[in-house]
Each structure stands twice: as C-alpha cells, then as structure tokens.
Amino acid sequence: MPYTQQPARPYRLGSLYYALYFGVFGLFEPFINPYFQKIGLNGRQIGLLLSIPPLVFLFISPAVAALADRKAWRVRLLTGLLFTGGVLYFIYQFPKTFLPIAIVTVLIALARGPIQPIGDSLILQMAIRHDLDYGQMRQWGSLVYALVAVAAGLVWEWLDISLLFPAAAIGFVLVGLVARGLPESPPVPETARAPWGLILRNPFLLALFISVVLMGATFNLFNFSTLLMAHLGGDERLIGILLGVTALAEVPMMYYASWFMRRLGAMRAMLLCYAIFLIAYTIGTFATAPWMLLIAGGIHGLGFGVAIIAVVVTFDQHAPDNWNASMQSMVSVGIFGFAPFLSSFAFGAIYDIWPSGTYALSLGLIVLASVALFIAMRLEKPL
C-alpha cells in the first residue's frame, strides 16, 4: 500500500494515546494471572475474578457512554476514569486473599469499562475528520504492548512482581494526561433516541454482533494461555514473550487493515481472520511445549489485527446521530463484557481438568462465530 501523508498533530496524538494505553496493559496484563496463582488462588477463583470485569461492563459501560455522547463529556469522562483507574491499580497490590481482591476488581472494572469505547470513538471520529487511517494509529498500541510485555517479562522475573501495580498506576495517569488533548465530538441532538435497539432491529447488525460476541468469548483463552505457558514449564520471561509475539503480529495487519477491507470487504476480511484463528487454536489444543504456544499466539495476532479494526469501523459506520461512543460501548460490552462473562467460568473449569482444553473450547466457539458471520454476509446491504 502506498504511503500517505498524515496530518501531524492528530495522527501523533491518536498514536501516542494508543501506545501509552496498551503499553500500560503490557506491563501487567500478561502477568496478573500468574501473580494470582503465586499468591495461592486456584483456576476457579481466577476464573471468577476474570468474570467480574465483563459483568460490570455490561451495566456501566453503555450508561456512561450514553451520558458522554448526550452531554459531549467524552474527553472529560475519559480523563477522569483514567486517573481513577490509576489510583485503584495502586491499591490493587495490597489485598492477598480472594474476597478483598474481588472487591478491588469490581472497583477497577467500574472505572475501566467505559474507557476503551469512549477512547476508540474519539480517535475514530478524529481520524474521519482529518482523513487519517485509523488502523495506522491503532497499530502503535499493539507494537508498544508487544515491546513492553517482553521487557516486563524480564523485569518481573528479576523484581518483585507485585510492583506491576504501582507501575500500572503511573501508566494510567500518563494516559489520562494525553487524553486531555483529544478533540471533543459534538453532542447528540436532544431529540435523538439512544441506539440500544438498533442492533436488534437490523438483522445484519444482529448477526454480526452475535458473531463478534462468539469471537470475544475466545479471548478469555489468552487469560489462561499465560497459565498454560507456566504449566508447560515457561517462566515470566516466556509469558511476556507469548503476549509480545501475539501483539507484535497484529502490527502489520493493523497497518494494512484498510487495504484488506477495500480489497475483500470488511466481512470477507473478518472471515479470513476467523480461518487464521482456527489454525492458531488447533495448534494450541495440541501444544506440549512453550514454543508451540508462541507459534499459536503469533498466528492469532495476525487475525486479530484486521478483525478488531473491521469490527470497530463497521459498527461506527452504522452509529446514528453522533451516538458513536454508545455504539462502541455496545460492541465493547459484547466482545469484552457479555462474551467473556459467559465463557470465563467454562474456561476456568476446563483449565483445572485439561489445561490445553481452553484452546479446544475456543476452536468450537470460532466455528460458531463463522456460521453467524456467514449469515451476516448474506444479510449485508450497502450503506
């Protein structure tokens, strides 16, 4: 794809936001479940902890996003939630038993739930106004996540792993400072109806939503892949490399996501990604050594890089009357809320019995997601 000149400040602002935001997750996300395991929690308890954020997202994210859209408070709320998240992650280092950890997890989920949909909607609208390639800004998040995850794996092998929480707290504050510079989008008209029923009324969006929910259910796999890596003999260094390889593979695919969507169409591009997921999950199901999980993670990243851009852009195109944050919140609730909540218990129970069975479960879910996507493709109409 030929290089296109990007307007400097908006492109740098969006890229910096994603680089810092996902870089913070690279500090702690690959290591938090091994940390919980080290302080004595079992697979079912970890599965319950993983189910808390998605459940909270279901209720808090759409309401906060609707308020942000209605009042044009997107930047204000995003900044406040990021600062609040920083404080809560600092507190996260202190509880050492399940119930106190669960309480702090609920509070963090209340703050984190609306952050990604509001941030995505602001940057996507900025990209549209300035004729920017959204995927080329989003790729910086995956690149920095990969680099930080690999580096953090080396650091947490050397330092006390509980230090990941104050490090995450500092990171969230830095992201909040960057978020203050994002341009606000107009409020929705006073008479505009919230888009909650739009997905149910539009058969194409409903089938696509079901497909991405099933896809989102498989993402619980990577919460347990770090445990499986440890089960197969991998240390913090290999855990960091696993998530780093996965995220690094996303980068070139996000850069060329617009090219794939122009050549194949968004739905066919997603179908190609599902086929890539099938290969990754099959390898993981039969993994007997850490290096096999590294291969599965890298292959999965290739598919995710295009799939997530296609989902964000497609649903944003159908958002009515400046309800962009609300539409993204509904998608986020489906992928990162409803789906992980329903599947987290199954993943936790299966892991305790058959650790690599988490990949087999993901294999079945992505087959169902492909069927729903085929139906969406048949129902799709030109905008």
Is residue 114 helix, strand or coil? coil
Distance CA 226, CA 237 (A): 11
Residue 278, CA distances (Å) to 218, 256, 340, 363 in order: 11, 21, 19, 6
Residue 246, CA distances (Å) to 97, 242, 305 in order: 31, 6, 10
CA atoms within 13 Å, Cβ hemisphere of 119: 30
Q: What is the pLDDT of residue 196?
A: 67
Query: Does residue 297 carry a pLDDT above 90?
Result: yes
Query: Does residue 7 carry a pLDDT above 70?
Result: no
Confidence of residue 205 (pLDDT cuts 50, 70, 90): confident
Query: Is domain 9-379 annotated with CATH 1.20.1250.20?
Result: yes
Distance CA 323, CA 70 (A): 8
Backbone torsions φ then ψ of 105, nearest 5 degrees:
-60, -40
| Residue 58 CB coordination number (10 Å) | 15
Query: Does residue 5 carry a pLDDT above 60?
Result: no
Confidence of residue 283 (pLDDT cuts 50, 70, 90): very high
**Backbone CA torsion sign across 128, 133, 139, 140:** negative
The per-residue pLDDT of the chain, averaged, comes to 87
Residue 99: DSSP 8-state: H
Q: What is the pLDDT of residue 383?
A: 57
Least Cα distance to 38 among 165, 227, 223, 219 occurs for 227
Distance CA 284, CA 296 (A): 6
Better-scored residue on pLDDT, 340 or 287: 287
Among the residue ranges 209-223, 240-254, 296-310, 330-344, the one predicted with the least confidence is: 330-344
At position 227, the amino acid (one-letter code) is L
Better-scored residue on pLDDT, 26 or 370: 370
pLDDT tens digits, one per residue of 29-70: 878 888 888 898 887 888 788 778 877 887 888 889 888 988
| Angle at 250 (CA atoms; ends 271, 167), nearest 5 degrees | 135
Better-scored residue on pLDDT, 8 or 302: 302
pLDDT tens digits, one per residue of 208-266: 999 999 998 887 777 788 788 888 988 878 887 887 888 889 999 999 998 999 999 88
Where are any strands of DSSP class E within 43-175? none
CA–chain centroid gap for 46, Å, is: 19
